[in-house]
Amino acid sequence: MTNDLPESTSTHWHGMHLPAEMDGGPHQMIEPGETWRAEWVVDQAPCTLWYHPHPHGATERHVYRGLAGMFWLDPAAGSEQADVQAQLPHTYGVDDIPLVIADKSFHDAGELIIDDGGNEVGFLGDVVTVNGVAGARLDVSTQWVRLRILNASTARTYALGFADRHVLMIASDGGMLRSPVRTGRVRLSPAERAEVLVELQPGEELMLHSFEPDLGRVAAPFAVGANDSFDVLRLRAAGELAPSAEMPERLASFGPDASAVAVRRRFELQGRTINGRRMEMSRIDETMVVGTTELWTVRNMDLSPHNFHVHDVQFEVVAIDGDTPPAELGGRKDTVYLEPHRDYELLMRFQDYTDPQWPYMYHCHLLRHEDEGLMGQFVVVAPGEEADPSLVSGHEHGRNPPL
Ligand code: C2O
Ligand code: CU
C-alpha cells in the first residue's frame, strides 16, 4: 500500500469562470496545515459544478480517495432562469438530487484498494458508488425527479439510463440545454455532468443503470470499460406521489456567435502529449487575447479513450467531423468525450480576467493521463500584452507518485 502521509494539494473549481489566480490549478498548492482562500464573483449561468484537487502528477490519487464535491449555482431571483427553475423539480434532497458517481475497488475487509496493476485508461473499479455509497437507494415522493449527475470517476465512462423508459436531459456541464432532450442513455466521461428528469409511477421500483458505453472506435473495448455495466441507484417510489408541474419546453438561450470566430487552434491528443508535447509546469503553451471568440479543433489520435477539458470557459460543441453533434452535446460544456479519430470543433469566447502570469489548463480528464502529461497551459491577456512565464518558470516540476 502506498503511504498516506499528508501531502500538498490544490483545489480546482471545475467549470467555474473565474480569475486564473483563483482557479486552484497545479501552481496554487496548499501545504499540509496551510489555508488557501479563493475569492471571486460568480458570473455565469446556473449549473452543476464540482471541485477537486489538481496537484501536478497526483490528481488521480487525490480524487480516487474521494477528495471531490459538488457545487450548484442557482439562478438569481427574478431572472429568466429562475422562472425555468420554478417549473423544474428544485427542492434539494427531495426532488432535486445530487449523484456523485465514482467507481472503486475494495479489499474483502472493505478497505479501498489503492494500488492497481495499471491500465491504458487508468484505474477501473468494479464497484460503482453514488455519493460514497455502494448499492445506493433513493426514496422518491414526487412524480418527477431531477438527478444531477457528476461522473467523478478518474477513468471510467458511463452510459446511464433506465431499461424501460427514457429520461429528459435538461442540462449539461455549463447549464441548461436550449430545450429538453429525450434520450435512453446519457454518456458521461470523467468530469462531465448531466441533469436528467425521470417520471415515476406510484409504488414502483426502478434501477438507474450504467449500460455498456459506446466509446467509439477503440481498439480494445474490454480493456477500457466498454463492455462493463453496473447497477447505480435504486429508486423506490412512494405509494402516492406528489404531482409535479408540467415540464418546460424551452430552457435557455445562449451561445457565442460562430460567425465571430477570430482565432482557430488545433489540439491533437496522442499518448500523453498534446501537439507532441507533454505538460511542463514552466511552459505556457497558448496565449489568448481577451474578447476573442475562438474555434478549437480537438482530435483523439489514439484508438483508446481520451476526453478534453478547458478551464475558465464553457464551450459549445459545434461540429463532430463536420456534422452537427447529437442533441445531448448541444449545451454549454467544459468537458467532452473524444471518440477516437474524430474532429471535435469547440466554440468558446475568452470574455474577461486577463493575467499574463497565472495560467489556466486544458487537459484530458482521465486523470492518469493528465498526471502523466496530457495537459497544457494558457493565459488570457489584454490586447497587445504578452504571456509572462516568470511565475511558472519559478515553479518546481510536478512529481509522479504512484496511485
Ligand atoms: Cu476537473 Cu483541470 O480539472
Ligand atoms: Cu486521456
Residue 83 DSSP class: H
pLDDT at 1 (0 to 100): 37
Which SS3 state, helix, strand or coil, does residue 63 take? helix
pLDDT at 114 (0 to 100): 80
Atom 2 (ligand 1) nearest CA: 361
Ligand nearest to the CA of 335: 1
pLDDT tens, 145-192?
999 999 999 999 999 999 999 999 999 999 999 999 999 999 999 999
Residue 62 Cβ contacting ligand 1 at under 6 Å: no
pLDDT tens, 225-260?
999 999 999 999 999 999 988 889 999 998 878 889
Residue 390 DSSP class: H
Within 10 Å of residue 183's Cβ, how many Cβ atoms?
18
- How high does pLDDT run on average in the chain? 94
- Which atom, in ligand 1's list, is nearest to the CA of 14? 1
Instruction: Tell me the mean pLDDT in the region 118-143.
Output: 94
Quick one: pLDDT band at residue 117, thresholds 50, 70, 90?
low
Atom 1 (ligand 1) nearest CA: 14
Residue 226 DSSP class: T
pLDDT at 6 (0 to 100): 78
* CA 6 to each of CA 3, 162, 283, 372, 385: distance values in angstroms, whole numbers, following the listed order: 9, 41, 28, 22, 40
- Which atom, in ligand 1's list, is nearest to the CA of 191? 1
pLDDT at 259 (0 to 100): 87
pLDDT at 109 (0 to 100): 86
Residue 54 Cβ contacting ligand 1 at under 6 Å: yes
Residue 361 Cβ contacting ligand 1 at under 6 Å: yes
CA 285 to chain centre: 22
pLDDT tens, 82-106?
999 999 999 999 999 999 999 999 9
Which SS3 state, helix, strand or coil, does residue 143 take? coil
Q: In what order do the strands lie in the sheet with 144-151?
A: 133-134, 127-130, 96-104, 144-151, 193-199, 167-172, 175-183
User: Cell numbers of 15, please?
Assistant: 467549470
pLDDT at 285 (0 to 100): 98
Residue 27 Cβ contacting ligand 1 at under 6 Å: no
- Domains annotated for the chain, with CATH where assigned, are 75-242 (2.60.40.420), 258-393 (2.60.40.420)
pLDDT tens, 354-402?
999 999 999 999 999 999 999 999 999 999 999 999 999 876 544 444 4
Atom 3 (ligand 1) nearest CA: 14
Q: What is the pTM of this model?
A: 0.96
Residue 195 near residue 73, CB atoms below 8 Å? no
Residue 209 Cβ contacting ligand 1 at under 6 Å: no
Ligand nearest to the CA of 151: 1
pLDDT tens, 36-67?
999 999 999 999 999 999 999 999 999 999 99
Residue 298 has pLDDT above 90, yes or no: yes
Residue 52 Cβ contacting ligand 1 at under 6 Å: yes
Which SS3 state, helix, strand or coil, does residue 196 take? strand
Residue 80: CA count within 13 A, CB half-sphere: 7
Ligand nearest to the CA of 51: 1
pLDDT at 4 (0 to 100): 64
Kind and range of the H or E run holding 18: none
pLDDT at 3 (0 to 100): 53
